[in-house]
Amino acid sequence: MRLPLRFSERRLLLILLDLFALSGALLVSLAFRPEYRLSWRLMIEHPSWFILLSILWFFIAFVFDVYDLRLAGRFSTAARAMLKAGLITGGIFILIPYIPPALPGSRLLFFSFFIFTLGFLLAGRAIYLLTLAQPFFNRRTLIIGTGPRARTIAQAISEQTNGIYNVAGFVQDVVSKKNPLSLLDNPNIQHSNVATFNALGDCSTLNELIKNHRINTLILATDRNIDGELFQILTDCLELGVDIIPMPVLYEQLTGRVPVEHVGENWYVGMPIHHQGTGGLWPPIKRAMDVVLASIGLILLAPVFPIIALAIYLESPGPIFYAQERVGKGGRIFRAYKFRSMVPDAEQGQVVWAKKNDERVTRVGRLLRKTHLDEFPQFLNILKGEMSAVGPRPERPEFVEELAREIPFYRVRHAVKPGMAGWGLVKQGYGASKEDALVKFQYDLYYIKHQSLLFDLIILLKTIIDTITFRGRA
């Protein structure tokens, strides 16, 4: 008997486990105060305390990747993420001013909340590793296909899931006409394109393989078109109660990226056909958020602007600002503003990729880049409506033309406004090559498909963390 959990089910159970731990920590810490006693009735009498704590934790936990199952599968990585998120959540919760919803007046004994919070959260992760991370809950998987797509998803499963998907092997995406059971009889036979996984058979043996290997999930990673015969075989497999997941869909779930180079004839899987930006409510909400954030950003920038301008000029006399043509929504060209971080005339008339530890960057410019302060003048671009607070980073027209010829769907990134912060930026950083541009585009396309207010807030919080921890460009 096995209980194979889906990816989303594991994440939901982790969230519920953490919320239970946080509520328990708050109840126990309140029990140290004479006016309270340890009782679940506190949750009914003061629900705002527990709701506020849960909301704080929810945002901060996603910022620190607490629910990244790759990290949650190892206690060392899970503990680091939990400690960071727990300390920040507890600190904010305790230091919230005396405004509704009102919290207990005294904070002296309330610091015990830190200890109980971290202890209960870590205990929850230990419970997860001792129970849900065991093979009893894993999903036995077959990968249909033996080419590049199959290898890519197998590698992603190996790197991202910590055994959540247990790959039994590959299945050739053809039907043998000679002896369909011969491959099944010899499970060690390998396809020429597969270096590490066994090809257990071809598609005609799928029913037997599902039963013999107790398979729960089939990953469709074939590099050829699905003909009528293969479609019928897959339909028959559904009767056995297995999941069938297209490779691009699972890859998105595991990595937060769209594998554009492996979408193939399933182009509709990779394309953001009906994304939030095409709706009626999201665009005005996002625009209102952009105006508010840009206005706040410019107000915060005003006091330090003279210091930044003086530092730039004293080290490297020349313009304080740098304006560069970029491609915006709909392919329109606009000029993006930045504080100058390189020596004047750094490109000398040639368009080149910026590189890590670029010798053209000044010492002041290096600090501006690490803190993302060099991008702050783009608040003006946001107010003008050329950019958004969150979106794919704007690229130069020369690079767009080059990358569009080599990367499938690349111009789709222009379906939304470019942003100061972005999913590709916080996950991949600034690109310094075509290879970096491909990976960053995979993240950007994922953002376009899944953009939402919650997603934007998480990206903004991640960017703020990068800013105050000097994790920007070198």
From CA 106, how far away is CA 193, in angstroms rounded?
66
Share of the chain above pLDDT 70, in %: 85
Residue 235 CB coordination number (10 Å): 10
CA distances from 338 to 81, 295, 321, 374 (A): 33, 17, 6, 5
Can you tell me the mean pLDDT for 304-331?
A: 92
Q: Kindly tell me if the per-residue pLDDT of 272 is higher than 80.
A: no
Can you tell me the mean pLDDT for 233-261?
A: 88
Q: What is the pLDDT of residue 305?
A: 93
Instruction: Give the chain's mean pLDDT.
Output: 83
Confidence of residue 193 (pLDDT cuts 50, 70, 90): very low
From CA 53, how far away is CA 30, in angstroms rounded?
14
Can you tell me the mean pLDDT for 179-191?
A: 37
Q: What is the pLDDT of residue 379?
A: 96
Q: Which amino acid is present at 40?
A: W
Integer Rg of the chain from CA: 26
Which architecture characterizes domain 138-255 according to CATH? 3-Layer(aba) Sandwich (3.40)
Angle, helix 47-63 to helix 75-95, in steps of 10 degrees? 130
Confidence of residue 20 (pLDDT cuts 50, 70, 90): very high
Q: What is the pLDDT of residue 109?
A: 58
HEC letters along 51-72: HHHHHHHHHHHHHCCCCCHHHH
* Beta strand ranges found along 299-390 (DSSP E): 321-327, 333-339, 388-390
Taking only the tens place, the pLDDT of each residue in 323-382 is: 999 999 999 999 999 999 888 877 766 666 666 777 788 999 889 988 888 999 999 999
From CA 147, how far away is CA 290, in angstroms rounded?
44
Can you tell me the mean pLDDT for 184-194?
A: 38
pTM: 0.84
Domain boundaries, the chain: 7-130, 138-255, 278-468
